[in-house]
């Protein structure tokens, strides 16, 4: 028996087990219902199990029941305290909840966490207080909150779990927080470059004030922590681990909600969601297992296009990604969009009909890349009306670089909050869809990362919104307008951890898109991140683990990573055999991580890193059959030129 209950009698263990159902709440399971609600007592604490129960649905809505989930009410909208909280309302108009805990001594008191804040209620969710804890210097603004617990010994003592900074505690009802998961005892949680593994669940021991429990996500294990001594131990007790993961009662409570609400609003939402799910399944069946290369617009024509299509076919690939709207804000096909024409953005470089016909004749899937918010043409349009603004210099904001000829602007960003910017890009995507492409892929769907970002003023930002909501709003408009599969390109770290960095929250994006393409380029990760690996092993690990984690975090949308088919920095010293192996190891990691295809990226279009045929990664079944045939032939006795079979036929 582990330390959490080794000192208890059998009867006390049962009581502690029932208690843990109330205080240990993992990410995604908000509230676990005891099998027999009543008042219970342990040796050191009285636990009152009340009639109010809170849970969440699959969309993150906060739900409340008073009759054991025979009926339930949606209290996430318009719950007082949520709608008026700056920076948390999503495109749906409600705050998505990740986890909730109930005070074991007060059945009306709960703590809930969304991605960005901690909320407290003393009336079972009728009203909420938002604590704005990301404004505290101890909390990283890009992480997401994943777990919460309330102490049975002190109602002001809270635990808060995060996606990559471990867990924190507050002993003053959330007015201040300190990080607990730091120091040598927690070194096993460290992943390098300042990141720790995600905390999946948290809980307090019912009898020992200083004893806490936590579980790490992605198979990281369960542990006990003694606050007074700093001792951390692995926990293997099956009952405790089960409750740390939510237990069967929690899942049953949510399921009952979905099956016993009759013809009410929740039932209508289920029907609507089922229809949406069918449409998504159809789109994703078309987009699945697409392997290919990126082609810049100026190369997507004539003999160059033919050579790329030959390369794709030779290696068993089946897709191409082509710039239809590029990093310069230019539309590289013949567009009739009036705003684009007025902005001087229509500069065709290829015949879209000819490109699509040539690809489809060879059964190659065409993905149209559309760069969204990094757009120099729309940036300058109408006297910079839609540009991000520099609050310090009172001029359009941009990213500048010094050169021999002076300072030059290298990035020009439009305002991601602007409805006009949204509609402009959606109209372009709709026009491209009508040309006959197979998929729309949005790139630069984020806020700027370089330059003096602290000076950015988003003049089109409304109240009660944030960066994640801005991108979600755009994607929701695109989803409504487009029938084709939609893909998005995201930074590698944004797919590795739950985070909101630059607005790229793949959990939110996954509600509207079919494909997420993380750029897991090893050259773009700090070498200290999982630095225990040799470089080639590290590359394979990044793609394997990154593909797996992004699949889990996004909830199962297709993950089609971009493969680094270029060298940069110290990689330029790699020998030819080494960099070709480098490419293959990335592909191997993607396959092992369950990715649905891949895209090779080389901005120059020079795919020199491809050496041996890529068939093991593009057509594995055929490759396996060929290898088996080769192995069989290798094991046969050699046949001389004049040898004959038993039937007398020459071999």
| Residue 542 falls inside a structural domain | yes
Statement to judge: residues 199 and 347 lie in one domain: no
Task: Give the per-residue pLDDT at 623.
Answer: 56
Dihedral sign of CA atoms 29, 166, 180, 60 in order: negative
| Residue 67 falls inside a structural domain | yes
| Residue 194 falls inside a structural domain | yes
* Contacts of 592 by beta carbon, 8 Å cutoff, 6+ apart: 540, 544, 547
Statement to judge: residues 184 and 310 lie in one domain: no
Mode of pairing for the β-strands spanning 62-65 and 167-170: unpaired
Statement to judge: residues 489 and 427 lie in one domain: yes
Task: Give the per-residue pLDDT at 647.
Answer: 29
CA distance 406 to 402: 6
Statement to judge: residues 500 and 365 lie in one domain: yes
pTM: predicted TM-score of the whole model, two decimal places = 0.84
Statement to judge: residues 296 and 362 lie in one domain: yes
Q: How far apart are the first and last CA of the chain?
A: 70
Lookup result for tokens 């046949």:
639
| Residue 251 falls inside a structural domain | yes
Lookup result for tokens 């995201």:
490
Tell the burial category of 478 from Cβ atoms under 10 Å away from its Cβ (0-12, 13-18, 19+). Answer: buried
User: Which CATH number is 542's domain given?
Assistant: 3.20.20.80
Examine the fold and report which residue of 243, 261, 279 is the final residue of a domain before the chain moves on.
261
3-state secondary structure 536-590: HHHHHHHHHHHHHHHHHHHCCCEECCEEECCCCHHHHHCCHHHHHHHHHHHHHHH
* Domain hosting residue 67, numbered range: 10-261
CA distance 120 to 111: 5
- What residues are paired with 413 via a beta bridge? 374
Secondary structure class of 530 (helix, strand, coil): coil
Statement to judge: residues 162 and 251 lie in one domain: yes
CA distance 290 to 531: 31
CA distance 106 to 27: 22
Statement to judge: residues 298 and 355 lie in one domain: yes
The per-residue pLDDT for range 76-101, each reduced to its tens digit, is 754 332 233 223 334 455 778 888 88
User: Which CATH number is 220's domain given?
Assistant: 2.120.10
How are the residues of the chain apportioned to helix, strand and coil, as percentages rounded to the nearest 5? Answer: 35, 25, 45
Task: Give the per-residue pLDDT at 181.
Answer: 97
| Residue 202 falls inside a structural domain | yes
Statement to judge: residues 46 and 91 lie in one domain: yes
Statement to judge: residues 26 and 73 lie in one domain: yes
* Contacts of 251 by beta carbon, 8 Å cutoff, 6+ apart: 29
| Residue 246 falls inside a structural domain | yes
Contact between 517 and 563 (Cβ < 8 Å): no
Residues lower than pLDDT 50 in the chain: 1-50, 78-91, 246-274, 628-629, 632-651
| Residue 282 falls inside a structural domain | no
Angle at 388 between CA 383 and CA 393, to 5 degrees: 85
H-helix or E-strand containing 233?
strand 232-235
Q: Which of 429, 106, 61, 404 is nearest to 265 (CA)?
A: 61
Examine the fold and report which residue of 192, 227, 261 is the final residue of a domain before the chain moves on.
261
The backbone torsions φ and ψ at residue 369, rounded to the nearest 5 degrees and listed phi first, read -80, 130
Tokens of 169: 């505690």
Statement to judge: residues 604 and 554 lie in one domain: yes
Per the structure, how many domains does the chain have? 2
Statement to judge: residues 480 and 588 lie in one domain: yes
Contact between 57 and 63 (Cβ < 8 Å): yes
| Residue 509 falls inside a structural domain | yes
Statement to judge: residues 338 and 439 lie in one domain: yes
């Amino acid at each position: 028996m582990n330390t959490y209950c080794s000192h208890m009698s059998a009867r006390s263990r049962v009581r502690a087990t029932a208690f843990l159902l109330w205080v240990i709440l993992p990410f995604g399971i908000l509230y676990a219902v005891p099998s027999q609600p009543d008042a219970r007592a342990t040796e050191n604490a009285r636990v009152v199990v009340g009639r109010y129960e809170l849970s969440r649905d699959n969309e993150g809505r906060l739900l409340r029941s008073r009759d054991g989930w025979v009926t339930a009410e949606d209290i996430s909208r318009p719950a007082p305290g949520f709608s008026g909280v700056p920076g948390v309302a999503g495109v749906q108009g409600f705050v998505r909840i990740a986890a909730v805990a109930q005070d074991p001594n007060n059945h009306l008191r709960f703590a809930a966490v969304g991605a960005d804040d901690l909320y407290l209620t003393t009336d079972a969710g009728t009203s909420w207080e938002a604590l704005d804890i990301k404004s505290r210097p101890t909390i990283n603004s890009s992480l997401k909150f994943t777990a919460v617990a309330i102490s049975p010994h002190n109602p002001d003592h809270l635990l808060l779990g995060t996606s990559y900074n471990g867990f924190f505690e507050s002993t003053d009802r959330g007015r201040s927080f300190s990080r607990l998961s730091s120091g040598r005892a927690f070194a096993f949680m460290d992943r390098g470059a300042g990141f720790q593994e995600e905390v999946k669940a948290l809980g307090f021991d019912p009898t020992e004030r200083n004893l806490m429990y936590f579980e790490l996500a992605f198979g990281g294990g369960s542990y006990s922590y003694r606050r007074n001594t700093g001792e951390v131990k692995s926990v293997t007790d099956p009952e405790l681990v089960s409750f740390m993961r939510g237990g069967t009662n929690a899942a049953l409570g949510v399921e009952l909600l979905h099956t016993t609400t009759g013809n009410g609003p929740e039932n209508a939402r289920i029907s609507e969601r089922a229809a949406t799910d069918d449409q998504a399944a159809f789109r994703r069946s078309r987009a699945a297992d697409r392997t290919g290369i990126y082609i810049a617009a100026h190369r997507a024509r004539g003999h160059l296009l033919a050579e790329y299509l030959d390369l794709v076919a030779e290696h068993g690939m089946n897709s191409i990604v082509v710039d239809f709207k590029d990093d310069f804000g230019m539309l590289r096909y013949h567009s009739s969009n009036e705003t684009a024409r007025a902005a001087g953005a229509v500069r065709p470089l290829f015949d879209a009909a000819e490109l699509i016909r040539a690809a489809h004749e060879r059964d190659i899937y065409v993905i149209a890349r559309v760069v969204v918010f990094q757009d120099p043409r729309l940036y300058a349009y109408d006297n910079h009306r839609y540009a991000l603004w520099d609050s310090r210099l009172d001029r359009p904001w941009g990213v500048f670089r010094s050169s021999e000829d002076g300072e030059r602007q290298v990035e020009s960003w439009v305002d991601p909050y602007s409805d006009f910017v949204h509609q402009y890009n959606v109209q372009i995507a709709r026009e491209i869809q009508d040309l006959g492409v197979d998929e729309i892929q949005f790139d630069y769907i984020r806020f700027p990362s370089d330059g003096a970002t602290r000076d950015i003023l988003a003049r089109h930002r409304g109240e009660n919104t944030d960066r994640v909501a801005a991108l979600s709003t755009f994607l929701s408009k695109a989803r409504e307008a487009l029938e084709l599969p939609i893909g998005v390109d995201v930074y590698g770290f944004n797919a590795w951890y739950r985070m909101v960095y630059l607005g790229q929250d793949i959990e939110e994006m996954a509600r509207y898109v079919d494909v997420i393409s993380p750029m897991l380029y090893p050259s773009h990760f700090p070498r200290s991140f999982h630095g225990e690996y040799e470089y080639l092993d590290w590359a394979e690990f990044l793609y394997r683990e990154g593909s797996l984690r992004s699949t889990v975090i996004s909830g199962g949308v297709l993950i089609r990573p971009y493969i680094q088919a270029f060298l940069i920095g110290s990689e330029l010293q790699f020998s030819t055999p080494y960099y070709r192996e480098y490419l293959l190891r990335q592909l191997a990691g993607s396959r092992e991580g369950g990715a649905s295809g891949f895209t090779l990226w080389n901005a120059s279009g020079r795919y020199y890193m491809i050496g041996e045929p890529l068939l093991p990664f593009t057509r594995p079944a055929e490759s396996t059959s060929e290898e088996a045939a080769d192995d069989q032939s290798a094991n046969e006795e050699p046949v001389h030129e004049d040898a004959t079979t038993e039937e007398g036929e020459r071999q």
